[in-house]
Protein backbone atom coordinates (compact mmCIF):
# COMPACT_ATOMS: atom_id res chain seq x y z
CA UNK A 1 0.00 0.00 0.00
CA UNK A 2 1.19 3.51 -0.80
CA UNK A 3 0.56 6.60 1.27
CA UNK A 4 1.01 10.29 0.52
CA UNK A 5 2.26 12.63 3.27
CA UNK A 6 1.34 16.31 3.04
CA UNK A 7 3.73 18.38 5.12
CA UNK A 8 5.39 21.74 5.77
CA UNK A 9 8.86 22.59 6.99
CA UNK A 10 11.12 25.46 7.94
CA UNK A 11 14.39 24.62 6.19
CA UNK A 12 16.72 26.82 8.29
CA UNK A 13 18.16 23.93 10.31
CA UNK A 14 18.48 21.46 7.43
CA UNK A 15 20.88 20.75 4.61
CA UNK A 16 17.99 20.57 2.19
CA UNK A 17 15.36 17.90 1.64
CA UNK A 18 17.42 15.02 0.28
CA UNK A 19 18.90 12.41 2.58
CA UNK A 20 22.69 12.74 3.07
CA UNK A 21 24.97 10.41 5.05
CA UNK A 22 26.60 13.05 7.26
CA UNK A 23 24.08 15.88 7.35
CA UNK A 24 20.71 16.61 8.93
CA UNK A 25 18.04 16.74 6.21
CA UNK A 26 14.26 16.89 6.16
CA UNK A 27 13.92 13.53 4.39
CA UNK A 28 16.32 11.80 6.76
CA UNK A 29 14.61 13.23 9.84
CA UNK A 30 11.14 12.08 8.77
CA UNK A 31 12.38 8.65 7.68
CA UNK A 32 13.99 8.08 11.08
CA UNK A 33 10.78 8.88 12.98
CA UNK A 34 8.51 7.05 10.52
CA UNK A 35 10.64 3.90 10.74
CA UNK A 36 10.59 4.09 14.53
CA UNK A 37 6.79 4.35 14.66
CA UNK A 38 6.18 1.60 12.08
CA UNK A 39 8.89 -0.60 13.68
CA UNK A 40 10.69 -1.29 10.40
CA UNK A 41 12.86 0.66 7.94
CA UNK A 42 10.79 2.90 5.69
CA UNK A 43 12.05 5.22 2.98
CA UNK A 44 10.08 8.19 1.69
CA UNK A 45 10.14 9.74 -1.77
CA UNK A 46 9.64 13.49 -2.07
CA UNK A 47 8.12 15.68 -4.75
CA UNK A 48 11.53 17.22 -5.40
CA UNK A 49 14.69 18.48 -3.79
CA UNK A 50 14.96 21.74 -1.92
CA UNK A 51 18.38 23.19 -1.14
CA UNK A 52 19.94 24.04 2.20
CA UNK A 53 17.82 26.58 4.10
CA UNK A 54 14.88 26.50 1.67
CA UNK A 55 11.38 26.12 3.13
CA UNK A 56 8.19 24.37 2.07
CA UNK A 57 4.71 25.64 2.92
CA UNK A 58 3.34 22.70 0.90
CA UNK A 59 5.20 19.48 0.20
CA UNK A 60 4.23 15.94 -0.79
CA UNK A 61 6.12 12.73 -0.12
CA UNK A 62 5.12 9.07 -0.32
CA UNK A 63 6.04 5.82 1.39
CA UNK A 64 5.05 2.18 0.97
CA UNK A 65 3.93 -0.14 3.73
CA UNK A 66 3.05 -3.84 3.71
CA UNK A 67 0.83 -3.25 6.72
CA UNK A 68 -2.32 -1.16 6.75
CA UNK A 69 -1.74 2.23 8.33
CA UNK A 70 -4.13 4.26 10.47
CA UNK A 71 -3.45 7.56 8.72
CA UNK A 72 -4.98 9.78 11.39
CA UNK A 73 -3.06 8.11 14.22
CA UNK A 74 0.21 8.06 12.29
CA UNK A 75 -0.13 11.76 11.47
CA UNK A 76 -0.72 12.53 15.16
CA UNK A 77 2.20 10.40 16.34
CA UNK A 78 4.62 11.78 13.74
CA UNK A 79 3.82 15.32 14.80
CA UNK A 80 4.51 14.35 18.41
CA UNK A 81 8.00 12.99 17.68
CA UNK A 82 9.16 15.28 14.89
CA UNK A 83 10.89 18.60 15.68
CA UNK A 84 8.79 21.75 15.72
CA UNK A 85 10.10 22.91 12.33
CA UNK A 86 8.45 19.97 10.49
CA UNK A 87 4.66 19.61 10.50
CA UNK A 88 2.66 16.73 9.04
CA UNK A 89 -0.65 18.08 7.71
CA UNK A 90 -2.23 14.80 6.66
CA UNK A 91 -1.49 11.27 5.49
CA UNK A 92 -3.74 9.44 3.02
CA UNK A 93 -3.73 6.27 0.96
CA UNK A 94 -3.27 6.53 -2.82
CA UNK A 95 -3.09 4.12 -5.74
CA UNK A 96 0.08 1.97 -5.62
CA UNK A 97 1.33 3.54 -8.86
CA UNK A 98 0.89 7.15 -7.71
CA UNK A 99 4.34 8.80 -7.40
CA UNK A 100 5.08 11.95 -5.39
CA UNK A 101 7.79 13.08 -7.79
CA UNK A 102 7.09 11.64 -11.23
CA UNK A 103 3.34 12.30 -11.24
CA UNK A 104 3.73 15.99 -10.38
CA UNK A 105 2.51 18.10 -13.30
CA UNK A 106 3.77 21.41 -11.95
CA UNK A 107 5.51 22.96 -8.96
CA UNK A 108 5.16 26.44 -7.55
CA UNK A 109 7.66 28.48 -5.57
CA UNK A 110 7.11 31.69 -3.62
CA UNK A 111 9.80 34.18 -2.66
CA UNK A 112 9.41 37.02 -0.14
CA UNK A 113 11.36 40.31 -0.17
CA UNK A 114 10.95 43.12 2.35
CA UNK A 115 12.52 46.56 2.18
CA UNK A 116 11.65 47.31 5.81
CA UNK A 117 13.06 45.88 9.00
CA UNK A 118 10.53 43.16 9.83
CA UNK A 119 11.06 41.27 13.12
CA UNK A 120 8.56 38.53 12.24
CA UNK A 121 10.00 38.00 8.78
CA UNK A 122 13.69 38.03 9.62
CA UNK A 123 13.99 34.25 8.98
CA UNK A 124 11.42 34.00 6.20
CA UNK A 125 12.15 36.89 3.83
CA UNK A 126 15.08 38.64 2.17
CA UNK A 127 15.61 42.02 3.82
CA UNK A 128 16.65 44.19 0.87
CA UNK A 129 16.63 47.79 2.06
CA UNK A 130 16.21 49.42 -1.35
CA UNK A 131 12.94 50.47 -2.97
CA UNK A 132 12.26 48.34 -6.04
CA UNK A 133 10.35 49.07 -9.24
CA UNK A 134 7.74 46.29 -9.14
CA UNK A 135 6.21 47.21 -12.50
CA UNK A 136 9.59 46.84 -14.19
CA UNK A 137 10.24 43.57 -12.35
CA UNK A 138 6.92 42.19 -13.58
CA UNK A 139 7.70 43.21 -17.15
CA UNK A 140 10.96 41.30 -16.89
CA UNK A 141 9.30 38.32 -15.18
CA UNK A 142 6.86 38.05 -18.10
CA UNK A 143 9.85 37.27 -20.35
CA UNK A 144 10.32 33.99 -18.47
CA UNK A 145 7.11 32.69 -20.07
CA UNK A 146 8.48 33.38 -23.55
CA UNK A 147 11.56 31.15 -23.24
CA UNK A 148 12.30 27.61 -22.11
CA UNK A 149 16.09 27.29 -21.83
CA UNK A 150 17.17 28.46 -18.37
CA UNK A 151 20.87 27.63 -18.52
CA UNK A 152 21.60 31.20 -17.37
CA UNK A 153 19.97 30.37 -14.03
CA UNK A 154 21.18 26.78 -13.62
CA UNK A 155 23.77 25.91 -10.98
CA UNK A 156 27.01 24.60 -12.45
CA UNK A 157 27.83 20.87 -12.23
CA UNK A 158 24.24 19.89 -11.47
CA UNK A 159 24.26 17.05 -14.02
CA UNK A 160 20.97 18.13 -15.56
CA UNK A 161 19.91 16.09 -18.58
CA UNK A 162 18.28 19.25 -19.90
CA UNK A 163 17.91 22.87 -18.83
CA UNK A 164 14.53 23.15 -20.53
CA UNK A 165 11.67 24.23 -18.25
CA UNK A 166 8.22 25.55 -19.14
CA UNK A 167 7.26 28.48 -16.92
CA UNK A 168 3.51 29.12 -16.88
CA UNK A 169 3.31 31.88 -14.27
CA UNK A 170 5.75 34.45 -12.88
CA UNK A 171 4.50 37.51 -11.03
CA UNK A 172 5.38 39.96 -8.26
CA UNK A 173 2.67 41.18 -5.90
CA UNK A 174 2.78 43.73 -3.10
CA UNK A 175 1.25 42.57 0.19
CA UNK A 176 -0.58 44.87 2.61
CA UNK A 177 2.52 45.37 4.77
CA UNK A 178 4.68 46.23 1.75
CA UNK A 179 6.34 42.80 1.46
CA UNK A 180 6.98 41.74 -2.14
CA UNK A 181 5.79 38.23 -3.02
CA UNK A 182 7.13 36.56 -6.15
CA UNK A 183 5.27 33.48 -7.39
CA UNK A 184 6.63 31.27 -10.15
CA UNK A 185 5.10 28.06 -11.54
CA UNK A 186 6.64 25.57 -13.99
CA UNK A 187 6.64 21.92 -14.94
CA UNK A 188 10.11 21.57 -13.43
CA UNK A 189 12.88 23.70 -11.91
CA UNK A 190 16.65 23.51 -12.04
CA UNK A 191 18.78 23.56 -8.93
CA UNK A 192 19.12 27.15 -7.63
CA UNK A 193 17.02 28.39 -10.56
CA UNK A 194 14.42 30.35 -8.58
CA UNK A 195 16.96 32.05 -6.33
CA UNK A 196 19.05 33.07 -9.36
CA UNK A 197 15.96 34.43 -11.13
CA UNK A 198 14.88 36.37 -8.03
CA UNK A 199 18.36 37.84 -7.55
CA UNK A 200 18.43 39.00 -11.17
CA UNK A 201 14.87 40.38 -11.09
CA UNK A 202 15.72 42.36 -7.94
CA UNK A 203 18.63 43.85 -9.87
CA UNK A 204 16.13 44.84 -12.56
CA UNK A 205 13.98 46.46 -9.88
CA UNK A 206 16.87 48.52 -8.50
CA UNK A 207 17.95 49.66 -11.95
CA UNK A 208 21.03 47.56 -12.60
CA UNK A 209 19.41 45.86 -15.62
CA UNK A 210 16.70 46.91 -18.04
CA UNK A 211 13.93 44.54 -19.08
CA UNK A 212 15.71 44.05 -22.40
CA UNK A 213 18.97 43.22 -20.63
CA UNK A 214 17.15 40.68 -18.48
CA UNK A 215 15.90 38.95 -21.62
CA UNK A 216 19.43 39.07 -23.06
CA UNK A 217 20.63 37.23 -19.93
CA UNK A 218 18.09 34.46 -20.59
CA UNK A 219 19.10 34.21 -24.24
CA UNK A 220 22.83 34.17 -23.45
CA UNK A 221 22.57 30.74 -21.74
CA UNK A 222 25.49 31.91 -19.59
CA UNK A 223 25.32 31.58 -15.80
CA UNK A 224 27.97 34.27 -15.34
CA UNK A 225 25.54 36.84 -16.79
CA UNK A 226 22.90 36.38 -14.06
CA UNK A 227 23.05 37.94 -10.60
CA UNK A 228 23.99 36.21 -7.37
CA UNK A 229 21.25 34.00 -6.02
CA UNK A 230 18.83 35.44 -3.48
CA UNK A 231 19.19 34.11 0.11
CA UNK A 232 17.57 30.74 0.83
CA UNK A 233 15.51 32.04 3.78
CA UNK A 234 12.94 33.80 1.56
CA UNK A 235 12.19 30.81 -0.68
CA UNK A 236 9.23 28.45 -0.20
CA UNK A 237 8.00 25.52 -2.22
CA UNK A 238 4.34 26.52 -2.07
CA UNK A 239 2.42 24.03 -4.21
CA UNK A 240 2.68 20.79 -6.17
CA UNK A 241 -0.05 19.87 -8.64
CA UNK A 242 -0.85 16.31 -9.72
Structural contact between residues 167 and 186, judged by C-beta atoms closer than 8 angstroms: yes
Of 10, 51, 70, 216, the catalytic one is 51
Enumerate the β-bridge partners of residue 169: 185
Q: Which of 130, 161, 166 is nearest to 146 (CA)?
A: 166
Judge whether 51 counts as a catalytic residue.
Answer: yes
Q: Which of 225, 223, 221, 198 is nearest to 213 (CA)?
A: 225
Q: What is the 3-state secondary structure (H, E, C) of the chain?
A: CEEEEEEEECHHHCCCCCCECCECCHHHHHHHHHHHHHCCCCCCEECCCCCCCCEEEEEEEEEECCCCCCHHHHHHHHHHHCCCCEEEEEEEEECCCCCCCCCCCEEEEEEEEECCCCHHHCCCCEECCCCCCHHHHHHHHHHHHHCCECHHHCCCCCCCCCCECCEEEEEEEECCCCCEEEEEEECCCCCCHHHHHHHHHHHHHCCCCCHHHHHHHHHHCCHHHCCCCCCHHHEEEEEEEC
Active-site residues: which are they?
A: 51
Amino acid sequence: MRYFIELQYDGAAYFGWQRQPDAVTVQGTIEQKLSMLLRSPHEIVGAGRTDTGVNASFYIAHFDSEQSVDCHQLCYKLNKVLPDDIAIIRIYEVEPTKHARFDAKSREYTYLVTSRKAPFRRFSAWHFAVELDVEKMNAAAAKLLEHDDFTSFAKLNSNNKTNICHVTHAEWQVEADGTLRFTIRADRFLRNMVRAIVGTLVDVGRGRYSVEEFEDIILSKDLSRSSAGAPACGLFLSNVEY
